Chains A and B, each alone.
Chain A
Amino acid sequence: MNKLIKFFKSFLLLELLKGMSVTGRYFFARHITVEYPEEKTPQSFRFRGLHAQRRYANGEERCIACKLCEAVCPAMAIKIEVAERADGSRRTTQYDIDLTKCIFCGFCEESCPVDAIVETRVYEYHGEKRGDLYYTKEMLLAVGDKYEEQIAKDRAADAKYR
């Protein structure tokens, strides 16, 4: 008997019609596609994108060249050279991040005692040569200057979870 029912079920294409009703229903469903250049998915304030070096409000760069980020970086993408500045403070003379090596884990940001190196929400950048993605200290500081407002806001939003 069971076999007979099964036979008629497959013979009358009932299962196939059921499948077609599912796809037919989805034909009229709303699309869930995010059409990228015009629409963007929402971002977390913890988004880890392009790196930036921050400054204090008085324009002094935050980085004190402790080299914690360089030490923690699993991809060894950070290179730091240190020297004493004229005013006697410890500063970097070279602070490079090779973005082709970087895996965007965010360890540098977490390890930084003065919130100098941060990762911003910027992810739409590109380089035409490999060298274009080798970010020097000046470039990182420029990124920081450009997005400082957003960076500060994101740090403030995240502060209560830390």
Chain B
Amino acid sequence: MMELLQTLQLLGQDVFGAAWLPVWTAIKIMVIILPIMGGVAYYTLAERKVLGFMQIRPGPNRVGYWGLLQPVADGIKLLTKEFIIPTGSNKFLFVAAPILALAPALAAWAVVPFFDGGELANVNAGLLYLLAMTPLGVYGIIISGWASNSKYAFLGALRSAAQIVSYELAMGFALVCVLLAAQSMNLGDIVRAQNQHAGLLGWFWIPLFPMFVVYFISGVAETNRAPFDLAEGESEIVAGFHVEYSGMGFAIFFLAEYANMILIAALSVVLFLGGWLNPFHGWGALGELTDQIPGLIWMLGKMSLFLFIFLWFRATFPRYRYDQLMRLGWKVFIPLTLIWVVVVAAWMQTSYWLW
């Protein structure tokens, strides 16, 4: 595999010369983006299936075997639908908003390590980059809400903005704890810091368990997913910020939302569940056997666990009321994370810090 990559590199340098680096980067971007798009498509199917199963019904099962072609049918439907631009809208911003929502959702993937060394950009300030990128998606939502010139869209956009600002704080403090524990902002190094001979007991989810929970719940709130989907709130404000969008515009918001969900799942795995690491590493024979499985498989397996939990939440919990949402963010999560930052910092000075 490695030799193949090396010959490819040499061949590329011969053919493209100095232009090889951008070309090689573009190839790597494609290798990351295309599976994410496919993953989003099939995640929508998984969502409908899981929701169906939890409501004791089979979910979509008519298009293709077991409904496997459903995302393709949905995609074709959305592509061929008319993209309506409302008369009263600000046309430029109306078209730009979905792009502004999708771009940061995809850009954040640049620093996510899929396996050892398997990231697009090995940025040392990776965590900061993520903190900068993920909330940028809210611009897409706010702009779409304002440009639509519709009260429901505007209400949804404002709700979303307030919500993301509140939860970004708790999320940031949770990340500070990880940063303290790993003593690095490079996502690859954060994973390597969890690489001890205790397998899954060596990962950060044990010392940082409250942060792990807070991070994931904030992540759910950040992506505007149930039970924090007040920005969409289909029973109160129709569909929130994207009421006025149809066809591809709607599809791009959809893509952005799901790409963000997959991103949050990937980050939870990288920060708290040891990324590409084998959970049984160092557990005798079992550890040696499972060490054969490539890191990418572990990474994807752990991600799908979180993606399932996203759907499980949606199937279980009713939507929060807005004041409850704010109470949870400001009065529970932020104090909790602040306390835990201090606890972790103090804990690390003692000899009881095993991680």
Contact = CB atoms under 8 A, between A and B. Distances in A.
Interface residues of A, number: 17
Contacts of A29: 56
Interface residues of B, number: 15
Contacts, number: 37
A20 B312 contact: yes
Interface in A109-140: none
Interface in A11-50: 11, 13, 16, 19-20, 22-24, 26-33, 35
Interface in B278-322: 312-313, 315-317
A22 B53 contact: no
Looking at B53, B61, B316, which has the most chain A CB atoms within 10 Å of its CB?
Answer: B316
A22 B54 CA distance: 9
B103 interface: no
A33 B312 contact: no
Contacts of B317: 16, 19
A33 B54 contact: no
A31 B50 contact: no
B56 A19 contact: no
Given A13-B213, A32-B56, A27 B316 contact: no
B316 A33 contact: no
A123 B8 CA distance: 65
B316 A23 contact: yes
Contact of B57 (A11, A23, A24, A32): A32
Contacts of A20: 312-313, 316
B75 interface: no
A104 B317 CA distance: 41
Contact of A31 (B58, B312, B313, B315): B58
Given A13-B213, A19-B317, A24 B312 contact: yes
B58 A23 contact: no
A18 to B, nearest CB: 10
Given A16-B317, A22-B316, A33 B57 contact: yes
A59 to B, nearest CB: 45
Contacts of A19: 316-317
A30 B312 contact: no
A26 B54 contact: yes
A27 B53 contact: yes
Contact of B56 (A11, A16, A30): A30
A16 to B, nearest CB: 7
B9 interface: no
Contacts of A32: 56-57
A31 B61 CA distance: 13
Nearest to B308: A27
B55 interface: yes
Looking at A16, A24, A27, which has the most chain B CB atoms within 10 Å of its CB?
Answer: A27
B304 to A, nearest CB: 15
Interface in B178-213: 213
Contacts of A16: 316-317
Closest 7 CB pairs of A and B: A33-B57, A23-B316, A23-B54, A19-B316, A23-B315, A27-B53, A31-B58
17 contacts: A11-B332, A13-B213, A16-B317, A19-B317, A20-B313, A23-B312, A23-B316, A26-B54, A26-B55, A27-B54, A28-B53, A31-B56, A31-B57, A33-B56, A33-B57, A35-B58, A35-B61
Interface of B: 50, 53-58, 61, 213, 312-313, 315-317, 332
Given A20-B312, A26-B54, A27-B50, 5 more contacts: A19-B316, A23-B316, A24-B312, A26-B53, A28-B53
